[in-house]
Chains A and B, each alone.
Chain A
Amino acid sequence: MGVASRFILRRRGGKSWHWTDIVTWVWLVGGLIIMFGPAVWLAFSSFKTPAALAEFPPSILPYVTSQATVQGYDKPLQLFEAKMPDGSTKVLAEVRRIGLVAQMVDPTTPGEIVRVNIGDRTPVRSVSFATENYTTPFTQFDFLRYLWNSVFVTVTATLITLIVNSMAAFALSKYEFRGRSLAMLIILATLMVPLSVIMVPLYSIISSLGLFNNLWGVILPTVATPTGVFILRQYMLTIPDELIDAARMDKASEWQIYWRIVLPLTAPALAVLAIFSVVWRWNDFLWPLIVLSRRELYTLQVGLSIYSGELNVQWHFILAMTVVTMIPVVLVFIFLQRFITTGIAGTGLK
């Protein structure tokens, strides 16, 4: 609260509001709404029933119309608040509708039918979260599978990235050997080779390796990231060489030096790379879309896009699964945002 009031009350210099203060205020609050609003709206929507989703104008909170089982009727009937001729209002259940007139019954006295003009009744609604939007895709569609595939790809790719990149970075920062600058040059030159440029030949390599329709076909091409090698190498250059000499005197093998000395000391850079890698791999779309054509292999991203592209889009499920897909990234954002922003500001890389 203190922060908010301090922000609101802060002005440029003097006592009065300078126009720039107003612009700042409008811009920031507008930004808050535009940046967070859509995701929040989506999250709210994901709890609505299909009927509520189809409503226009939409409500913000997920409402459902109330129903009641009335004696003498097989199906539950929808409840309405009806205006009676005497001016009072009463909760009635609708039996059927004929033209502009609805036949209704009082749940407490099921025997007599009341006729109400449809203009005089409004549905009784209550807030209710349609959690089946979340449970059904997991139990009846393959989404649990997709979730698992995504987690597998993300975790495996990140682990391999960390190991393989840190080994390369170690070699490139702590050894003198012929071809070192060539290796560095190649890595730097390919820092910018995007997937879209090499997807056709990469696909043929993946299929000749038998990795088409295989999660490893998604994982392997992503793990030798030049970015990762670059970040880690920069960091390892700051580790004093004397430390490595000391370990050599202490009878450590080069491999031991790598995992007992260099890796622990590179932890901060590894953490940054791990965060990036998790976000990258979790969000990957085009390459999994190319490599995975069997439904049971889809990652969340691919599954979502395929389902949302179908003719009969079941928005209530799609929205819920979008929220699920968003959760890890939102968690990363909440807890590790500072790490990432300083990481990007420091390296200029994303």
Chain B
Amino acid sequence: MGEITLTKIKKSFGAVDVLKDIDLDIKDGEFIVFVGPSGCGKSTLLRTIAGLEKVTGGEIEIDGKRVNEVSAADRGLAMVFQSYALYPHMSVRQNLAFGLENSSMPKAEVAERITEAARMLEIEAYLERRPGQLSGGQRQRVAIGRAIVRRPTAFLLDEPLSNLDAELRVSTRAELAALHARLGSTMIYVTHDQVEAMTLAHRIVVMRAGKIEQVGTPLDLYNTPANRFVAGFIGAPHMNFLAGEVADLETGTATLATAGGHRLLVPFSGHSLSVGEKLTIGIRPQHITLANDPGSLKVKVRLVEALGSETVIHADLNGEKLLAVVPGQKLISPGDETYLSVAGAPLHLFDRNGLRVKGS
């Protein structure tokens, strides 16, 4: 079992409030990913769940039991640290055994669990080596192994892949997913990297400045971000934001005017908009296409990044920046004037407070 419930979690270091009223239900076996900008409190939240930090307020429950006063050792969780935190003076085997020995497990069972975990992670070959004699990727596996042998109710992972090179990251990511599928236990995973978040998570928790901005499946967040922050944070490159104004409202459609007099039609079925209201319009760069019809957006090209399979165009639309990612290779160069089309692109509307406009 690995059900974790957070209710109104608060944490402050002296006068600084780092976590503000965090509410979260994590289901058993779920893969939850915390994302958010640096310093937003992801690690702190993870460490309060682990029991390494005491909460200032609120309740933490594991499988229905309040654990606020339970020490880290007795919460039955395991953690994988960003720097791996392997004990440098112990061999890999001793690293794995340390936690088990501390709970006075019989020697035979310790050995058995180590063998099993080592086989699973393919680290049998260097069980007798010290962490200093391992490569970064190997160390990373050992760190995961140290968590696995404990058979915890939940795994807590704080940016476990951030010290690996790009290639290793991708393969380890896949292995982590496989591992989760195999173990079936709850995992809480902190990362900066949204590709990791998107590929691994059942649900993503987007945090900002000690608050949860949105919780949802990766595609939920991508398709219907709850606010401008989440919209901008999820997806790469970032979503384009254009200032706009409601020009006309009809049943089922809203007409928006952008700077420069362009008009965009958006399907709309709510009642929350009024004509003349100022809005922010979000368009994902991937949804913009090149066009040669003068009816679309006329832009000036500032920079072109040809990546081979796709081309990234940095453009200027009446003083506003617009980024487009178009498939294939395009003969276009900085200084050119061209037309970009957003026809058929899903447009995201955000009101003055940055919240998603209901019904859009």
- A-side interface residues toward B, CB under 8 Å? 240, 242-243, 245-253, 256, 260-261, 264-265
Tally B residues with Cβ within 8 Å of A: 24
Min C-beta distance of A242 to chain B, whole Å: 4
Q: Once the chains bind, are B77 and A265 in contact (CB under 8 Å)?
A: no
**Which residues 77-100 of B sit at the A interface, judged by CB distance below 8 A?**
77-79, 81-83, 85-89, 98-99
Q: Bound complex: CA of A248 vs CA of B71, how far in Å?
A: 9
Judge whether B89 and A265 touch: CB under 8 Å: yes
B52 x A256 contact (CB < 8 A): no
Interface pair B88/A252, CB less than 8 Å apart: no
Q: Is the CB of A249 within 8 A of B52?
A: yes
Q: Are B85's CB and A243's CB within 8 A?
A: yes
CB neighbours of B86 from chain A (8 A): 246
Q: Are B99 and A251 in contact (CB under 8 A)?
A: yes
Complex interface residues of chain B between 86 and 120 (CB less than 8 A to chain A): 86-89, 98-99, 102-103
Within 8 Å by CB of B73, from A243, A252, A264, lies A252
Contact with A along B34-71 (1 / 0, CB 8 A): 00000000000001001010000000000000000001
| Nearest neighbor of A256 in chain B, beta-carbon distance | B102
Measured in the bound complex, the distance between the Cα atoms of B74 and A251 in whole Å is: 7
What residues of chain A lie closer than 8 Å to B81, measured between beta carbons?
242, 245-246
Kindly state the separation between the CA atoms of A251 and B85 in the bound complex, as whole angstroms.
15
Residues of B within 8 A of A242 (CB): 81-83, 85
Looking at the assembled complex, report how far the CB atom of B44 sits from the nearest CB atom of chain A, in whole angstroms: 13
A sample of 20 inter-chain contacts (CB < 8 A) reads A240-B85, A242-B81, A242-B85, A243-B85, A245-B47, A245-B52, A245-B79, A245-B81, A245-B85, A246-B85, A246-B87, A247-B98, A248-B73, A249-B50, A249-B52, A249-B73, A249-B79, A249-B99, A252-B73, A265-B88
A-B contact count (CB 8 A): 58
Question: Which residues of B sit under 8 angstroms from A245, Cβ to Cβ?
Answer: 47, 50, 52, 72, 79, 81, 85
Q: How far is the CA of A232 from the CA of B297 in the complex (A)?
A: 67
A238 to chain B minimum Cβ distance, whole angstroms, is 12
A44 to B50, CA, bound (A): 68
Q: Is the interface of A mostly helix, strand, loop or mixed?
A: helix
A260 nearest in chain B by CB position: B98
Which of A252, A253, A264 is in CB contact (< 8 Å) with B98?
A: A252
Check B79–A251 contact: CB distance below 8 A. Answer: no
Chain A residues positioned under 8 Å from B85 (CB to CB): 240, 242-243, 245-246
By a CB distance below 8 angstroms, the chain B residues around A261 are 87
Task: Give bound CA distance, A243 to B83, whole Å.
Answer: 9
What is the CA–CA distance of A265 and B85 in the complex, to the nearest angstrom? 13
A264 to chain B, nearest CB (A): 4
Determine the distance from Cα of A260 to Cα of B102 in the docked complex, in whole angstroms.
11
Contact A250 B99 (CB under 8 A): yes
Chain A residues whose CB sits within 8 angstroms of the CB of B98 once the complex forms = 247, 250, 252, 260
- B12 smallest CB distance to A (angstroms): 14
Tell me the complex Cα distance, A256–B71, Å: 15
Query: What's the minimum C-beta distance from B72 to chain A, rounded to whole angstroms?
Result: 5
Q: Are A250 and B102 in contact (CB under 8 A)?
A: yes
- How long is the Cα–Cα vector from A265 to B146 in the complex, in angstroms? 20
Contact assessment for B89 and A251 in the assembled complex, using a CB-CB cutoff below 8 Å: no
Distance A28 CA – B88 CA, assembled complex (angstroms): 43
| Chain A residue, CB-CB nearest to B99 | A250
Looking at the assembled complex, report how far the CB atom of B32 sits from the nearest CB atom of chain A, in whole angstroms: 18
Could you tell me the distance between the alpha carbons of A256 and B103 in the complex, rounded to whole angstroms?
A: 12
Residues of B within 8 A of A (CB): 47, 50, 52, 71-74, 77-79, 81-83, 85-89, 98-99, 102-103, 146, 150
What separation, in Å, do the CA atoms of A270 and B88 have in the docked complex?
17
Docked Cα-Cα span, A265 to B88, in Å, equals 8
A265–B89 alpha-carbon span in the complex (Å): 7
CA gap between A253 and B98 in the complex, in Å: 12
Alpha-carbon separation in the docked complex, A113 to B83 (Å) = 95
Q: In the bound complex, do residue A251 and residue B87 qualify as a contact, i.e. CB atoms below 8 Å apart? A: no
**For the complex, what is the distance from the CA of A252 to the CA of B87, rounded to whole Å?**
13
| Contact residue among B78, B83, B88, B89 (Cβ-Cβ distance under 8 Å from A249) | B78
**Interface contact A248-B88, CB-CB below 8 Å:** no
Known: A240-B85, A264-B89, A265-B88. A248 touches B52 (CB 8 A): yes
Residues in A neighbouring B87, C-beta threshold 8 A: 243, 246-247, 261
The docked-state distance in angstroms from the alpha carbon of A51 to that of B89 is 59
Report the minimal beta-carbon distance from A253 to chain B, rounded to whole angstroms: 8
- Give the interface centre of A243, A246, A260 by most chain B CB atoms within 10 Å: A246
Beyond contacts A247-B87, A248-B71: 20 other A-B pairs, Cβ-Cβ < 8 A, are A242-B81, A242-B83, A245-B50, A245-B52, A246-B87, A246-B146, A248-B72, A248-B73, A249-B50, A249-B52, A249-B79, A249-B99, A250-B73, A250-B98, A250-B102, A250-B146, A251-B103, A252-B99, A252-B102, A265-B89
CB distance from B158 to the nearest CB of A (A): 9
Query: Which residues does chain B contribute within 8 Å of A250, judged by CB atoms?
Result: 73, 98-99, 102, 146, 150
| B77 CB contacts on chain A under 8 angstroms | 249
Cα–Cα distance between A264 and B74 once the two chains are bound (Å): 25
Specify the chain B residue showing the minimal Cβ separation from A176: B13
Most buried by B among A250, A256, A265: A250
Beta-carbon nearest neighbor of B50 in chain A: A249
Given contacts A245-B52, A261-B87, A265-B89, contact A251 B102 (CB under 8 A): yes
Chain A nearest CB, measured from B81 CB (Å): 5
A58 to B96, CA, bound (A): 69
Q: How far is the CA of A256 from the CA of B99 in the complex (A)?
A: 11
Once the chains are docked, how many angstroms separate the CA of A248 from the CA of B78? 10
Q: Which residues of B contact A249 (CB under 8 A)?
A: 50, 52, 72-73, 77-79, 99
B102 near A240: Cβ-Cβ < 8 Å:
no
Residues of B contacting A247 with CB < 8 Å?
87, 98
Whole-angstrom distance between the alpha carbons of A316 and B289 in the complex? Answer: 103
Contacts of A260 in B (CB 8 A): 98
Cβ–Cβ < 8 Å partners of A253 in chain B: 73, 102
- Give the residues in chain B near A240, CB-CB below 8 Å: 83, 85
